Structure 1
Amino acid sequence: MDNGKENLDEVTASQSILLVEDDVKLARLVTEFLTINGFSVKHIDNGQAAIDEILSNPPKLIVLDIMLPGVDGLTVCRTVREQYTGPILMLTALNDDIDEVAGLETGADGYLGKPIKPRVLLAHIRALLRRQDLLETEKGIEGAEHLIQAGPIMINAAKREVCVNDQHVELTAAEFNLLWLLAEHKGAIVPREELHQKIFRLEYDGLDRNIDIRISRLRKKLGDDPRSPSWIKTIRGQGYLLINE
């Protein structure tokens, strides 16, 4: 890995990252690279210790390998996701769509395959942190204009809360952000390219399935049948539409 410092748009230098990786050599190189680029990195090499650390001392972002001794990365992600609301970026050496889908369905916010390209890793981390900072800023916003009703779904931007038929629905930061983007344009089609760019701060390449997987997961949490959705509609070849009823 190249240990050169990148001159991309900066995030706060004190941002803390937990790196969960059992490959000691790779972990050392990633830690050195991210430290040079202004991050505070803590390395843990097994899943159970990672769970304990995340729940007791949550970092700003987690870089999590899927293949770990003992408790694997998918289990780590699933275990901490209800309490940990920060971004989780998963790594794997396996070139398999099933692993990507599984990672995202357990609550991961991004996915990168090995071998890791340091600049790509850094770009993903910075994009996720920019999005997280934006979400945290929005928590302080108050006012009725930040309430959006879409059918049985009530979305409160100030409190970052979602209710369906007056029942609270627990969403991750990434899921709420995606729903809010749809809600801001309810009744209108939001192109997949626009959702991808706003969520990941990266241009859509026409092949990435992250938005589609997140929409599917969001439907399940809202109780919208993924096989025949009534509230979040797929407009084939165009994007997604949140009902305006």
Structure 2
Amino acid sequence: MDHHASASSLPSDSQSRWAAEVLLVDDDAPMRQLIIDYLARFSLRGEGAANGTEMRQALARTRFDIIILDLMLPGEDGLTLCRWLRKEGTTPILMLTAQSEPTDRIIGLELGADDYMAKPFEPRELVARIQSVLRRTQDNQGVRRGATRTHIRFDGWKLDGIRHQLESPSGMIVPLSNAEVRMLWVFIEHPRQVLSREQLLDATRGRSIEAFDRSIDLQVSRLRQKLGDDPRAPRLIKTVRGEGYLFDAQKIGN
């Protein structure tokens, strides 16, 4: 069955029944269609793309709520496409990786992917991960636990949680990934408190993710880089050896 044809033939009044638009980028056509059909059972409208070219064409047609991106693709691989997607915007990315490649998962998270799943996986778990990522994305957009702030200042910096960007004390705009926004909010909400890697993992990605301590370290490293924090003597995000990290901003306010 041609998915693009079936999706475009949907009557306009049925569009409202979809809870979210999902783009699945995977070169395995039978599996792609099976997943798309399964997602529909949970009011998730799926569209398929076999490679980077088809992905860009789909993105030009439709505004997707989440992109499921296979790591192993012909031509441009998943990591290359993840890097491109992060330069273009902040649409959440869930990466599909091989069970035996933890390094690729870590790199994907570092490049800005919001979550990953190792193949093979249960379709119901994929749905749960999609729903979890979408909930966290809503949190980033202001529907956050008991919080209404979307902008906050600290030590001369300004975080814009809507546009996913930082403004430096000199006025330079620094783009952030979804994961970086979440991590920075966690630090800001817990100033001068030691947060363990497990706490950061839980707060930014949820307990469904395997505890990759290294992925948290890499995200902290990227965040320090964007904040201009010297990794050898960090001023804002400090390492507490054997315990975790501490956000040492002196002034936090609206």
Alignment of 1:62-73 (within 5 A): 62-73=67-78
* Alpha-carbon separation, structure 2, partners of 1:117 and 1:79: 28
Distance 1:222 1:52, change over 3 A: farther
CA drift of 1:147 comes to 2.4
Out of 123, 136, 142, the position equivalent to 2:141 is 136
Structure 1 gap ranges (5+): 1-11
The residue that corresponds to 1:88 in the other structure is 93
Distance 1:76 1:183, change over 3 A: same
| TM-score, scaled to structure 1 | 0.82
Distance 1:179 1:119, change over 3 A: same
The residue that corresponds to 1:3 in the other structure is none
CA drift of 1:69 comes to 1.3
The reply on whether 1:177 has 2:182 as its aligned counterpart is yes
The residue that corresponds to 2:5 in the other structure is none
The answer on whether the counterparts of 1:148 and 1:156 sit within 8 Å (CA) in structure 2 is no
Distance 1:96 1:160, change over 3 A: closer
Segment of structure 1 superposing worse, 59-68 or 45-54: 45-54
Number of paired residues? 231
| TM-score, scaled to structure 2 | 0.79
- Residue type of the partner of 1:237? G
Out of 201, 205, 210, the position equivalent to 1:196 is 201
Distance 1:96 1:227, change over 3 A: farther
The residue that corresponds to 2:24 in the other structure is 19
The residue that corresponds to 2:6 in the other structure is none
Segment of structure 1 superposing worse, 30-39 or 189-198: 189-198
* Alpha-carbon separation, structure 1, partners of 2:29 and 2:163: 41
Out of 218, 241, 250, the position equivalent to 1:236 is 241
Q: Deviations over 1:69-103 (max 9, x none)?
A: 12211111111212221210111226223212221
The answer on whether the counterparts of 2:90 and 2:164 sit within 8 Å (CA) in structure 1 is no
- Residue type of the partner of 2:88? Q
Segment of structure 1 superposing worse, 102-111 or 225-234: 225-234
The reply on whether 1:37 has 2:38 as its aligned counterpart is no
Out of 104, 107, 116, the position equivalent to 2:109 is 104
Q: Deviations over 1:107-126 (max 9, x none)?
A: 21112211122232222211
Identity %: 37
CA drift of 1:152 comes to 4.6
The reply on whether 1:123 has 2:128 as its aligned counterpart is yes
* Alpha-carbon separation, structure 2, partners of 1:53 and 1:220: 33
Structure 2 gap ranges (5+): 1-16
The reply on whether 1:214 has 2:219 as its aligned counterpart is yes
Out of 157, 163, 166, the position equivalent to 2:167 is 163
